[in-house]
Structure 1
Amino acid sequence: METNENYHQPAAEPQMILTDQAQFYLQKAGQWAFFLGIMGFVGTAFLAIAALFVGTIFTSMAAINPLMAHAAGMGAAVTVMYLLLAAVSFFFSLYLYQFGDRVKKGIAYHNVDETTAALGKLKSFFKLWGIFTIVYIAFLILFFITMILVGANAASHIPNGSAL
């Protein structure tokens, strides 16, 4: 007895083919990303240079005006903050630059691997942006909670019956 079984081999996943217009849009996006990446590197350099001098500026302000003696101690904190901003800015710029460079090459030479690597860098850029946004929102929430607690503490120390 023979059974009639139809075996269907799974079809290969369809390949995505980009139209000429899509390739044009990607290439233009790559050119802008490349430009913004370079500008980001320049801005990062300015932030790093500013970080080196901000401590000296705060110390000089404290020496000129004795009422600003606390400014000398804040110089180190501001320097660290500027260096952290420069580091974050560097990675944003790096991912944009790498996306722009690779997508331009990938589209120009019809290189699928280079274009795929470029899109991976774009994914990394947006992932970093998302993480940075989450951290920023967490700091804002922490800041507002702290301000509410400080305000409540200050209000609890106001004597009863005193007029403002």
Structure 2
Amino acid sequence: MEDNTSQSTGSEQIELSKYTIYQLKEIGNWTKFLGIAGFIFVGLLVILAFFMGSFMSKINPTTPFPSFVFTFIYLMMALIYFFPILFLFKFSMNLRRSLSSNDPAQMDSAFSNLNAHYKYIGILAIIILVIYGLFGGMMLAFGMMNGFPTGSYT
């Protein structure tokens, strides 16, 4: 049996060693596990969304928000979290199929899903950093408008 598997990528060819194939199989197993765990987490978020509104209104009846606001927030969190998990799970499934059938098209699809996963996570990170920056800037502006506390707190 040969030590390398040849994969064609357009005009280039990549040789995958047995060790690399073994590592890719391990990656496929772990990403499948993370995908399934992520789907379970998203499912729990959806279930929790429908209980959180009534739960929060019972804990603090004077809350200024209607109970559906909490439900909406949890559903949005589940929706945001769903897509990177879906891309990761699709990567795992296509990678495993590609390695078992030696199909370059499946490998292309696998890495396309991995690319989508990291692109989504990267864009989400940028959005979160911008939101942090906006809130930090607003806090700084409000602090400057109201005057920073001077003097001792003792």
Which TM-score tier does this pair reach, normalised by the shorter chain?
0.7 to 0.9
Residue ranges of structure 2 left out of the alignment (5+ in a row):
1-9
Report deviation, 1:76: 3.3
Give 1:144's aligned residue: 136
Question: In structure 1, what is the Cα distance between the partners aligned to 2:12 and 2:84?
Answer: 33
Give 2:5's aligned residue: none
In structure 2, do the counterparts of structure 1 residues 109 and 163 end up closer, same or farther at CA, with 3 Å as the change threshold?
closer
- SS state at 1:73 partner: coil
Judge conservation of contact 1:48–1:86 (CA < 8 Å) in 2.
yes
TM-score, with normalisation over the residues of structure 1? 0.79
Using the aligned pairs only, state the percent identity: 24
Which has more strand, going by share of residues? 2
Which one-letter code corresponds to 1:37 in the other structure? G
- SS state at 1:16 partner: strand
Residue ranges of structure 1 left out of the alignment (5+ in a row):
1-11, 64-68
Which 4+ runs in 1 deviate beyond 4 A?
161-164
Give 1:154's aligned residue: 146
Question: In structure 1, what is the Cα distance between the partners aligned to 2:105 and 2:122?
Answer: 26
Judge conservation of contact 1:59–1:72 (CA < 8 Å) in 2.
no
- SS state at 2:15 partner: coil
- Number of matched pairs: 144
> Deviations for 1:107-128, whole angstroms, at most 9, x for unmatched residues?
0111111111101100000000
Judge conservation of contact 1:103–1:115 (CA < 8 Å) in 2.
yes
Larger relative CO (CA 8 A, sep 6+): 1 or 2? 1
TM-score, with normalisation over the residues of structure 2? 0.84
Give 1:79's aligned residue: 71
- Aligned-CA RMSD value: 2.2
Give 2:29's aligned residue: 31
> Deviations for 1:62-81, whole angstroms, at most 9, x for unmatched residues?
44xxxxx1x25164333222
